[in-house]
Amino acid sequence: MRLNLQCHPLTPVSAIEQITVEWSMTKAGTIWLRYHAVGNVEEVKLPDNLGQSQRMDNLWQNTCFELFLSEKGKQRYCEFNFSPSGNWAAYSFHSYRDGMDQVALAHSPEIFMDFSDTHMAIEVTIRLPDIWMHDELDAGLSAVIEMRNGKKSLWALRHPADSPDFHHRDCFVFKMEAAGR
């Protein structure tokens, strides 16, 4: 399935024309995501440290791609950040932007990047923690695109608020069946 992200009206940039996300999930709870941005990628600021793969905070301050998951009817949710560098982050929240903790993962996400002058794609394979595998999930997919001039473009499946806010529950519009179903 391919999903289209929308640029928030307050953060337009002319360099990126479109961002799509393809996804799949195995019965064992492994999620595969492919974020694909089309446009003048030469204007996008990419990390200097390509090829790394370690947990790192504050990835959202630069170009990164994100996945948010929540259980239907519950306040808790988790956030995953994936950098083109290969670095990643995983956090859980008790409620809206409150009670942030790091999510323990049995295996680091696998992150691969492919880019040219006209496109940038990042593929991620991540195994869900057991606590997130038993219920249907509401998902939010988003992207932060930082340009070389410092401007940022914020993309999501939906932007329910006047200001960009990927943590807003109304951004979690994609329904994922529980793993194992």
Please name the amino acid found at residue 8.
H
On whether residue 181 sits in a domain, the answer given is no
pTM (two decimals):
0.94
- Cβ atoms of 54 and 90 within 8 Å: the answer is no
In a domain? residue 136 = yes
pLDDT in tens, the chain (181 residues): 899 999 999 998 889 999 999 999 988 889 999 999 999 999 999 887 767 789 999 999 999 999 999 988 889 999 999 999 999 999 999 999 999 999 999 899 999 999 898 999 999 999 988 877 767 899 999 999 999 999 999 999 999 989 999 999 999 999 988 776 5
Token pair of 63 as six digits: 């170009």
Pair type for strands 137-146 and 119-127: unpaired
Q: What is the pLDDT of residues 15-60, one digit of tens each?
A: 999 999 999 998 888 999 999 999 999 999 988 776 778 999 999 9
Number of folded domains in the chain? Answer: 1
Q: For residue range 11-21, what is the model confidence (pLDDT) as tens digits?
A: 988 899 999 99
69 lies in some domain: yes
Q: Is residue 152 part of a domain?
A: yes
Q: Is residue 6 in a domain?
A: yes
We report the CATH number of the domain holding residue 135 as 2.60.40
Structure tokens, 11: 């953060």
Confirm whether 32 is domain-assigned. Answer: yes
* Residue 40 belongs to domain spanning: 2-176
